Amino acid sequence: MKTIGIICEYNPFHNGHAHQLHTLATKYPDVLRICIMSGSFVQRGEPALFSKFDRARWAMLGGADVVIELPTLYSLGSAQLFGTGAVRLIKALSIDTLSFGSETTDLNQLIHTAKRMDCESTQNELRNYLNEGMSYGTAFRKALGSESLSTPNALLGLEYIRAAIKYYPNLEYIPIQRTSDHHNHNFNQELPSGTALRHLITTANPLDMYSTLQSTIPTPILADMTHRITNDDYVDYNRYYNMVHMLSRRMNINELERFVDFTEGIEHLWLKAAQQPSWESAIEQIKSKRYTYARLQRMGAYLTLGITKDLINIAMQDGPQYARLLAFNDRGRQWLRTKHDIPLIQKWAKAPTQLNNLGKSMHHIDTLATDIQALCFHNEANRIGHTDYTYTPQYIK
């Protein structure tokens, strides 16, 4: 083993993430830790709370050796698309081992269950449950009849293994026990959830927030994150939701049909809901067992970023076309000199000259995602566009 990949969002970085990196560093001190991190938009279907540049720096301070950006076409996708894109990027970078947090660490059970996911019988049952109006996650849990799918991180772990069976059968795995509740809003536990931390930062009064951050954010990162929060260098989600709502109102049926996940006539319900006074009230009107909050959020992001069905189909077929370097240290510097199957991008402006048409589309979407996230920051001074073009990968000593 020479390299360990960690697929992550760090939205934002907290003690749970530090625990995983510390565990890997302790057990495998000579192995390089390479984070494949979502960029400006994350899988929950909205901009990350902090910029990818801040989150990459925190990942390095938390124990990573290299941080690579997962292109937005994958970071914004369903569990299957997210997992497939990340694993194919790991394969293209010749990373030989994948570590992931999971509520179950029984690797044999995870591999056995992942192998069943594409069996004809499982797929038939999945379609039947979907036809009954169930969400994808619920339908898959019932089709597999497995408790391994009852928790979000285990589901992602299964999707990683499922993708690796198809695209990277030699990949090895190191599951790390996750003990915190993925969606818990409370801080009555040692390792917080990202949901709880985002809720705290966006809603709590400053005194309560800073007191809690001291117990949930690793010491090397605490002062930097606190400074970002004090300076309002994070997303105002009301600005983003208003953007989605405005764009929804200016669409027609034919235009909506082009975007990912707009199927089964939901575009009619979407346009009707767009007449509601806010995006929050609109999404409540559309939400159902089949169209969960997360799925509708992703659909709003696809609309906002202009991600069409045709583009996502090509991205699924061909995989990531580049690896964008965000940060590295001395250990990581040596790895950067090795050869990879895809371009390793360090200068964003020069990237298109190295890319095919799909790569150029990914580059455009990544740039747009960063620009839209920036436009949503609380701090007006940080709402400038094209920061991707002025960013130099951070070298952390």
pLDDT tens across 347-363, in order? 999 999 999 999 999 99
pLDDT of the residue at 188: 46
DSSP label at residue 148:
G
Please enumerate, by residue number, every residue annotated as part of a binding site for ATP.
7-20, 101, 153, 178
Quote the tokens at residue 358: 């799909």
pLDDT of the residue at 224: 97
Instruction: Tell me the C-alpha distance between 65 and 59, whole Å.
Output: 9
- Sequence-ordered list of residues with C-beta below 8 angstroms from that of 123, at least 6 positions apart, any chain: 143
pLDDT of the residue at 150: 64
Helix (H, G, I), strand (E, B) or coil at 298: helix
| pLDDT per position as a tens digit, 58-69 | 999 999 999 999
Query: Does residue 169 have a cis peptide bond before it, meaning omega lies within 30 degrees of 0?
Result: no
Q: Quote the strand ranges of the chain, DSSP E.
A: 3-8, 32-38, 41-42, 46-47, 66-70, 97-102, 172-177, 323-328, 344-345, 394-395
Please list the ranges in the chain whose pLDDT falls under 50. 188
Contact 167, 84 (CB under 8 A): yes
Q: Can you give the pTM of this predicted structure?
A: 0.94
Give whole-number Cα distances, 228 to 204, 223, 225, 283, in Å: 16, 9, 5, 30
Cross-strand bridge partners of residue 46: 42
Please enumerate, by residue number, every residue annotated as part of a binding site.
7-20, 101, 153, 178
pLDDT of the residue at 208: 79
pLDDT of the residue at 219: 94
